[in-house]
Structures are given as C-alpha cells and as structure tokens.
Amino acid sequence: MSAVPLPAPAAARPRLAPWLLRLHRPALYVWTALVLLTAAALLWLGGPLTDAAASAWDQYDACDWSAHCSYDQPAILRYKDVANYTTLAVTAVPFLVAAWAGAALFGREMESGTAQLTWTQGVTPTRWLTTRLALPAALITTGTSLLVLLHHLAWTAGEGRIDTAKPWYDTLTLHANGPTTVALALTGLAAGALAGLTLRRTLPALCVSLLAVACARGLADLAMPHLWPAVTRVTDLRQDPAGTGLTVDEGLVTATGRHIADPGCGSTLAPECRALYERLDATAFYTDYHPASHYWPLQLTTTLALLTLTALLTTIGYVTLRRSTGGRRRGAAV
C-alpha cells in the first residue's frame, strides 16, 4: 500500500521568490537595464532636448526667408529621433514581457520538467504558479509605470513647443503616454503563462504569446474609440471636414439628416464636388471624434478592458494547471 507523507514543515518548504529571482537573474538584469536606460533617455528628451528643439523652432518661425536665415536643425532632428526611439521602446515592453513569459518563465520550465520536479519538493502547483505570476507582475508594473509616466512628462514638455511632435492621438504616443501599456504588459505576462502551461514547449509558447499580445493590442485599438461617447462636429460643405482628435467616423449629412460615406472629393469650392454633393443631397460634413479632453476616459476604459482580459487569461491558466496536474496535493506520493 502506498504511503502519503505528511506535509513538509513550513520551515522546510522552498522559498520560491528568492529562488525565482536567482533562476531568472539574467532577465532581471536586462529588465533593469532596459528601464534605467529608457528612463534616462526620456529624462534627456523631456529636458535639454525639448528646450533645444523648442529654441530651434522659435528660430525657424522667426526666419525672414527673403534673406539668409539659420536655425539649429540638428536639435530638431535629435529630438525627433530620441522621441521616436523612446516611444518604440515603451510600446515594445508588452511584447518583450510576453516573449519572456511564454518562452523562459513557463515554456522552458514545463518542457524541461523543472516545474514538475519543483512540485515534488513540497510546493503545490498553485503556489508555484502564483509566485511566478505575482513577483514578475510587481516588477513589470513598477518598471512599466515609471516609463509611461516619464514618457507622458516628456511629451507634455514638448506639447505646443515642438512643431513636429506627435499629437496625443497618434497610435504609439497614445499608448506610450498612458496606463494601457502597463495593462497590456500584464496581459502579456498572463498570455505567456497560459501559452507555456498549455503548449509546454519554449518556441511555440513564445510565438503564441507574441501573437496573443498583438491581437490584444489590435483589439484595444479598435475598441478604444467606442468605449466612450464621441463628439460630433458638423461643418459647411464649403470647408473641409473638421475635428482634431481621435476620429471615430466621418462622412456627409444629407438634407434628411442621414449620415452617408464621404466620397473624398473635398469642399464645394471645386465645381465638380458641388455637383456631386447636389446629386447626393448632401448639406454638410460630419466628424465623430474624441477631443483631447477625452484622453483619460479613453485610457481608463481601455485599461479596464485589458485588465479584465488579463484576469480571464490568468483564471484559465489556473484551471489549465489544475487539470494537467490532477489537483495534486503538496508532497503526495504514489
């Protein structure tokens, strides 16, 4: 008859957090370096680079082009390059997290059998998974939040001062400036965990994790404009469609008030456009859009949606692990 030993004393149970940090020390070093270097670049961007570029734009705007005029073009180009690179770095964080979580944190451990060995050392699968999610989640949230905050401050420092600065509704800038990037990074962690637990192989888990985050990001972009009521602006056909912000929809308004697609002809200043609009019975342009005042409502509703998805993926991960291990008890032996 098989014996079932008593649970190991608390003092004898492995301390998973220090062991996890030692095991993934290279990843911790890379993450720390990434955060520190990007943070330093963002501080440089929001301070000296913004001041130099703003001064250069003042010189450019004051130029009398009838005579020789000079301005600090390298400062403008330097600001643009650093702004683009730091924005890409911040928005890439969720994808890096997903790749690491799927490949190294879960996929490799399941493929090599290290996870299964840990479960025989007085550690339940549930505790193992909780530690592997909670500790990285804390580090990821802290580091990503810092980068998002610094990016937002750097962008704000150049708002209205740098003519070529990206608008708030630019896709990359919109996410790099707000908590959606933090939420998406946690989604990447949960997606990587689920992929690793399900596929149990490093490379497939890495690929599926990246695909999952890409899909989540795409869905967030599609859903965001519709998660908060938009503002409608109607303009005369003698003008071009107006409404600066995140566009939801635009087109023509007919005499009956119906909204139809805009053929893209332009204003009625062109005779051919005037004739076209008369045939369509169009009386005005309309634009459904989100102004700058909708920035935080859009950010917070999209963040909530991503966190809900993260919670769903995490729950599925626990269910998957429980089914694959048969709900085994700590220290059980057959």
Tokens coding 76: 């403008």
pLDDT in tens, 66-124: 667 788 889 999 999 999 999 999 999 999 999 999 999 999 988 888 888 888 887 88
Q: How far is CA 8 from CA 4, 170, 247, 329, 332, in A?
A: 12, 55, 60, 11, 11
Task: Look over the chain and give the mean of its residue pLDDT values, rounded to a whole number.
Answer: 88
- Measured N-to-C along each axis, helices 125-158 and 73-100 cross at an angle, to the nearest 10 degrees, of 170
Are residues 268 and 280 in contact, defined by beta-carbon separation less than 8 angstroms? no
Supply 8's token pair: 């190991």
pLDDT of 241 strictly over 80: no
Q: How confident is the model at residue 273 (pLDDT cuts 50, 70, 90)?
A: confident
Asked if 307 and 186 count as a contact pair (C-beta separation under 8 A), the reply is: yes
Q: Would the pLDDT of 258 be above 80?
A: yes
Q: Which residue do the tokens 């980068």 mark? A: 147
pLDDT category, 302, cuts 50, 70, 90?
A: very high
The percent of residues above 70 in pLDDT, for the chain, comes to: 92
Q: pLDDT-derived band of residue 17, with 50, 70 and 90 as boundaries?
A: confident
The burial class, CB within 10 Å (0-12 / 13-18 / 19+), for 241 is buried
* Total-model pTM: 0.88
**Nearby residues of 6 by Cβ (< 8 Å), 6 or more positions away:** 331
Rounded CA separation 22/7 (Å): 26
The answer to whether residue 5 scores a pLDDT higher than 50 is: no
Count of CB atoms situated within 10 Å of the CB of 15: 8
Q: What CA–CA distance (Å, rounded) separates 227 from 204?
A: 33
Residue type, 133: L
pLDDT of residue 1: 41
What are the residues whose beta carbons fall under 8 Å from the beta carbon of 293, sequence distance 6 or more? none
Asked if residues 193 and 130 have their Cβ atoms less than 8 Å apart, the reply is: no
Q: In what order do the strands lie in the sheet with 246-254?
A: 231-236, 282-290, 246-254, 259-260
pLDDT value at position 279? 86
Decide if 234 contacts 285 (C-beta within 8 A). yes
Q: What is the 3-state secondary structure (H, E, C) of the chain?
A: CCCCCCCCCHHHCCCHHHHHHHHCHHHHHHHHHHHHHHHHHHHHHHHHHHHHHHHHHHHHHCCCCCCCCCCCHHHHHHHHHHHHHHHHHHHHHHHHHHHHHHHHHHHHHHHHCHHHHHCCCCCCHHHHHHHHHHHHHHHHHHHHHHHHHHHHHHHHHHCCCCCCCCCCCCHHHHHHCCCHHHHHHHHHHHHHHHHHHHHCCHHHHHHHHHHHHHHHHHHHHHHHHHCCCCEEEEEECCCCCCCCCEEEEEEEEECCCCEECCCCCCCCCCHHHHHHHHHHCEEEEEEEEECHHHHHHHHHHHHHHHHHHHHHHHHHHHHHHHHHHCCCCCCCCC
Cα separation, 188 vs 192, whole angstroms: 6
Look at residue 250 in the predicted model and tell me its pLDDT.
Answer: 86
User: Using CA atoms, how far apart are residues 177 and 181, in angstroms rounded to an integer?
Assistant: 8
Cα 86 to Cα 100: distance, rounded to the nearest angstrom: 21
